[in-house]
Amino acid sequence: MQEPDKILIVSEDPAAEDPSRLIQELTVELSDLYQDDGGANSFNPKDAAGARSIFVVARLDGKAIGCGSFRPFDVETAEVKRMYVAPEARRMGIGARILDKLESTAKEMGYQRLRLETGLKQPGAIALYETAGFSKVSCYGEYASNPLSVCFEKDLNLGVRRPGGAF
C-alpha cells in the first residue's frame, strides 16, 4: 500500500486526457453495475469547468487514479459529481481525500452545503459519504423517481468529527 502523502489532488480541466479517461472508467463501471448508460448523460465536463465549479484529479506518483467535481446546484449549494477512484487504488483513503478537497474548495467559494446522489449498489460510496458527515435526504430532480438512487447533503458550516477524533 502506498503512503497517503504521495497522493496529490489538484484541479484539472475535466476535458483533458486523464480526467476524460477517469470519467469513462466510472461510466463503464456504473453501466455494468446498473445495466444502463452509467449516468453518461448526467455529467457534462463543461459544468465542472464553469464558474463556482471544480474538477479535481488524484495522482499517485503522477498517475491519475481518482477524480471528483462539483457544480452549482443553487446559490448556496454545490452538487458533487463524478467521484471515482480506480479499483487498484481503492481502500487507501483517496476518496476521502478527494471529498475533503471538494469540501474545502466549496467553502472557499462561499457554498453553504454540498449535495450528491449515489446508488444503492455502491455501499462503499454510501459509507464514504456517511463517514464524511453527509446525511440522507429526499432524492431530488432526475433522481426522485429512481428507486436505486440515494441522495445526501452536508452543511459545510458544521464541524464533523471523523473517526480517530479529527475534524
pLDDT tens for residues 20-44?
999 999 999 998 888 876 565 667 7
4-155 homologous superfamily: Gcn5-related N-acetyltransferase (GNAT) (3.40.630.30)
Distances (CA, A) of 27 to 36, 59, 84, 162: 10, 19, 10, 30
* DSSP 8-state class, residue 69: E
Q: 50 with 69: CB under 8 angstroms? A: no
* Residue where the block lists cell 475535466: 14
Report domain extents, the chain.
4-155
AA letter at 151: C
* Residue where the block lists cell 480541466: 13
Task: Give tens-digit pLDDT for 87-109.
Answer: 999 999 999 999 999 999 999 99
Mean pLDDT of 126-144: 96
Q: 95 with 85: CB under 8 angstroms? A: yes
Answer with the residue of higher pLDDT: 35 or 54. Answer: 54
